[in-house]
Structure 1
Amino acid sequence: MTYLMLFGGLLAMVLINVPIAVAIGVVALIGMVLAQGSDTLLNVPLTLFDGATSFPLLAIPLFVLAGELMNISSISRRLIDLVSAMIGFVRGGLAMVNIGVSMFFAEISGSAVADVAATGSVLMPAMKKKGYKPAFVAAVTSSSASLAIIIPPSISMILYGAIADTSIVKLFLAGVIPGVLGGGLLMALSYYFAVRYNLPREEAFSFKVLRQKLRDASWALMLPVIILGGIFGGVVTATEGAGLAVVAALFIGFVVYRELTLQHLYKCMVRASVQTAAVMLLVATSALLGLYLTEARLPQEMAQAIISVTDDQIAVLMLLNLLFFVLGMFLHGAAAIILVVPMVLPLVQQVGIDPIHFGIIVTLNLAIGQQTPPVASVLATACSIAKVDMWSTTRANLPFIGVLIALLLLVTYVPSVSLGLVNWVYGG
């Protein structure tokens, strides 16, 4: 009964817009005091500190800063020009360009919101000017930006890996095929709508233009090669790769493109600090909740309760997908990982689900959650830039959400889609 009251209180605070980190902290403190008395509060500062000082989590502020540096330079514009030269000649090409650029940018920033902010402000006005309906424009931009949570490097995967004590590099590798497959499916759906509604083509294909745009974007294309090549090649860890991304972005911005100034750098660092502070406060307070849940043995009890009903992997995965789908409507991605993963991990381990496989399932669920109101951070950002109503955008977005759900089901019940590359590289 106490558990239900605490989590009911947590949900109530979230629904009245209390910051999720504050809500989690309050619930954790109340639970600890009720369970063990006020003396347990002496451990709170240490728990908060330990929860936010894990080495893998250092990658988060570094990737956030790298994304900000890329946003403020011309990297996103050069990537847009290159992808447009490659596939813009296809009917409805701008929609495909939008998806293609999101896939490129996902390999650099690791953040779907950063993806929308960087590419949407350029592409969405251009698409509307060409006659694309505003709701469709926002839907394509929002759904394709969520590929950033699947394609490495992904901030959500870093959080999951730190909490589940799982290899972040293997998670990155497992996200490659689902991410590319998701981008291809979204492009196929966009082409269907382009033919159906006779959407315009862009300029005719030209090798000369393609060579020019490829030359202009060559340094921008080096970023994912440097970051992912270093991580997958075993040269650097994911955290060191994030530091490498910052150094590379600074070099390209200051030395190569010469469009980054000290004033720009200051603004980037301020914005990155604010975003990082919000995430790390959430991580720290979640450590308190994790301590309470561990001592109360709630995750183990929940696992036993579900296993008493069924221990079939297919049924358990279906229940977990439903749980994350519903929670994705009300919680931001980081909050869902931090709040729910520690609770369900004992169940996942007990029924023999691979933690890497489960990590990709979690991140795909969160990608869908970014598109489903009322709390849909990526969708809200896209609607804000496109200046269109969220609910009309949601209607236009339903087919794209359907594609993401189909991808989720494929990854869930065909583990080789995510684990095939991992097993090929590492054996297994």
Structure 2
Amino acid sequence: MALPADLAEAEGVRPGSAIMRPVEFVCAALLLVIVGVLLLGVTSRYVFSLPVVWIDEVASISFLWLAMLGSAIAIDRNEHLKLTLFIGLMPERLRDFVNALAMLIVAAFLAGLIYPAIDYAIEESYVTSAALNIPNSWRTSALPAGIIAMFLLALRYAVKTSRISDLVLAAAVLAALAGAFYLLMPVFKTLGYGNILIFLVIIVALCLVAGVPIAFCFGMGTLCFLAFSTTVPMLVMIGRMDEGMSSIILLSVPIFVLLGCILDATGMGKAIVDFLASMLGHVRAGMSYVLLGSLFLVSGISGSKVSDMATVAPALFPEMKRRGYQPKELIALLATGAAMADTVPPSIVLIVLGSVAGVSIAGLFNAGFAIAMVLLLSLALLARWKAIGEDLKGVLRAPFSTIGRTALIAAPALVLPFLIRGVVGGGIATATEVSTIAVLYAFVIGIILYGGIGRRRCYAMLVETAALSGAILMILGTALAMAWALTQTGFARDLANVMAGLPGGWLSFMAVTIVVFLILGCMLEGLPAIVLMAPLMFPIAKNLGINDVHYSMVVVTAMNIGLMTPPIGIGFYIACKIGNVSPDEAMGAIWPYLVALIIGLVIIAVVPGLSTWVL
């Protein structure tokens, strides 16, 4: 989920430039405000039975400002998620030009939104909020402010990192394309669905290949589609982006990202790894079980695949190598284990899916545990078979005193995933509310039992959270705008008719779903694939009688398998980076594990009860 900026996290966070220090401070303060007001709301309602009516409005205002300014920080740090596979294959001279072109595409997209964003904020000034009784422009002014900041930062980054000759040539190419599209507008308006192929497929794909961040690939494709083939004003696109970034449910995204940072800083995740190692480390394939079990449990705390892998790999890989595991096998197990664990709550992907598809997050959280267990069993059986030649010479069972000590240290951390699932699944609190409780719990327990976190590290975590959250939410905003554009063309209706007419009924539709999300998981990463396709696919699934939670589990699992599938899946390269293993070396070893996951996925797809029995 995890999530956009994953590759940047894997390589280490790059410090921002000095001119962004005030913005970073504002974002850190906004994040604290969001956590603070949500905790106030939970405490007031559940402890004192006094709901505070203005909490949601303050949180919503702070959230949109955090998203837009955080996205600007991500531009400054070059942390927006992008596909770099094709860029890496280009000759150096061509690569330099394409990098310059990619940044100018980002700047051009943002420049095209500046005036509509200002106009949108002015329009919203005539709307008054219900509780605070202030103009809605207090919130929506974040859109033009963030877009202008990103535009200036994109230009600055392009000038700093590119030759003037490359920038001039790239600008000429963009100007020529814009002029050609303008002249062809009468033709585009007669093409119907052909415009979807030109603007929302070909342009988006070319931007992806050029290394344009995914959020801006969607944005540029949608902007060109609306500008050159329709009469829809750009104001509408801003409105759809606002809708995609402003859902109250999504407030839990930055808070769970912050929770992952706290776990990394305190060592709570490592405590879980040590406990499982003391329990299972002496049996054949035991360290594989420990790695998979650790990913399962740690994912249930952090909600981030990168955080999971970065916590587990350094703690287990040295001992596993000593026992004869090949580095490529370790990467294969790490990557597919992380894919397995992404259905374990509090998965950010599940939260976003629940938001955009209207699925019960409590239902997703309950089903996610069961589905992850099916995938865990598939991988564990394969790991057992592969461990026939494992060297257990000198490996001793840990004494009960060691098991007891590690269990005592890990107990507060082990409680957290079950606390999250129980509170949300039991209807006691929403995902947003439980995220704040989890952050407070982890922070206090981290201070008391795990050594605490220094003030400088706390501030850095807040800024990192803002940047990652901004990158995630910008993808959601532009992807929702693109999905809306697709829907307005009537494409969604016609697609539904085709899907409904497939021979084989719901099973054929499930097979198509698996193929679609395996491919999209490779190309787009989880969140944009979900936001783009959920509005199209979920209504079809509902018409075919497929339970929405069951369908969600199939979608998320297929998407995660795609994310870890070479040669394109970015999650695979992140795992290689964390494990310090060449992708070429690890590529051959991962296929049996991917096959095990696909077998598990097929079982999940054809047996709805695995997803629905816990509802």
Q: What TM-score results when the alignment is normalised by the length of structure 2?
A: 0.66
From 288, 291, 294, the counterpart of 1:95? 288
2: CA distance between counterparts of 1:132 and 1:15?
35
**Is the Cα–Cα contact under 8 Å of residues 343 and 372 in structure 2 kept in the other structure?**
yes
Which residue, out of 254, 268, 284, partners 2:461?
A: 268
1:227 and 2:420 equivalent? yes
Q: Does the 8 Å CA contact 1:106/1:115 hold for their aligned counterparts? A: yes
Task: Give the 3-state SS of the residue equivalent to 1:395 in structure 2.
Answer: helix
Letter in 1 for 2:369: V
Find the aligned partners of 1:35 and 1:348 in 2 and give their Cα distance: 30
Unaligned runs of 5+ in 2: 1-193
Give the CA deviation at 1:70: 0.1
Give the structure 2 partner of residue 44 of structure 1. Answer: 237
Tell me the equivalent position of 1:21.
215
Corresponding residue of 1:292: 485
Task: Report the residue type matching 1:340 in the other structure.
Answer: M
Q: Which amino acid aligns with 2:560?
A: A
Range moving further from structure 2, 370-379 or 240-249: 370-379
Number of residue pairs matched?
A: 421
**C-alpha distance in 1 between matches for 2:285 and 2:500:** 49
Q: Which amino acid aligns with 1:36?
A: T
Provide the C-alpha distance between the structure 1 equivalents of 2:542 and 2:421, rounded to a whole number of angstroms.
29
TM-score normalised over the length of structure 1: 0.94
Pair 1:378-2:566 in alignment? no
Answer whether contact 2:324 2:391 (CA < 8 A) is retained: no
| Rg comparison, structure with higher value | 2
Root-mean-square deviation over aligned CA pairs: 1.8
Distance apart, 1:170 and its partner CA: 0.3
Query: What is the aligned partner in structure 2 of residue 115 from structure 1?
Result: 308
The answer to whether the 8 A contact 1:74-1:259 is kept is: no
Cross-structure match for 1:425:
none
Structure 1: how far apart are the matches of 2:441 and 2:249?
Answer: 20
Unaligned runs of 5+ in 1: 423-428
1:151 counterpart = 2:352:
no
Mapped partners of 1:194, 1:309: distance in 2: 43
Q: Measure the CA separation in 1 of the matches of 2:393 and 2:339.
A: 25
Give SS of 2:614's match: helix
Note if 1:280 corresponds to 2:470: no
Does structure 2 retain, via aligned residues, the 8 Å contact 1:93–1:200?
Answer: no
Alignment of 1:70-89 (within 5 A): 70-89=263-282
- Aligned-partner residue type, residue 155 of structure 1: I
Distance 1:273 1:156 in 2: 18
Contact 1:254–1:261 (8 Å) recurs in 2: no
- 2:255–2:435 CA contact under 8 A, matched in 1: yes
Residues of 1 paired with 2:513 and 2:243: CA distance? 29
Identity over aligned pairs, percent = 28
Counterpart residue identity of residue 556, structure 2: T
**1:200 Cα deviation from its structure 2 partner:** 6.0
1:59-208 residue pairs with structure 2 within 5 A?
A: 59-198=252-391, 202-208=395-401
Aligned equivalents of 2:446, 2:557: Cα separation in 1:
32
Contact 1:110/1:148 (8 A) holds in 2:
no
For 1:367 and 1:199, how far apart are their aligned partners in 2?
33
Counterpart in the other structure of 1:338: 531
One-letter amino acid of the counterpart of residue 449, structure 2: V
Residue deviations 1:330-358, cap 9 Å, x none? 12111111122222223222222221111
Letter in 2 for 1:356: V
- The residue number in structure 1 matching 2:402 is 209
Q: Does the 8 A contact of 1:116 with 1:145 survive in 2?
A: yes
Q: What does 1:244-255 correspond to in 2, within 5 Å?
A: 244-255=437-448
Tell me by how many angstroms 1:201 deviates: 7.3
Quick check: 1:111–1:148 contact (8 Å CA) kept in 2? no
Which sits farther off after the overlay, 352-361 or 45-54? Answer: 45-54
Taking the aligned partners of 2:367 and 2:252, their CA distance within structure 1 comes to: 18
Instruction: Give the match for residue 426 of structure 1.
Output: none
Per the alignment, residue 347 of structure 1 pairs with 540
Structure 1 residues 303 and 284, CA gap change in structure 2 (3 angstroms): same
Contact 2:342 2:349 in 1 (8 A): yes
What is the identity, as a one-letter code, of the residue corresponding to 2:580?
Answer: K
What residue identity is the alignment partner of 2:466?
Answer: S
Letter in 2 for 1:250: F
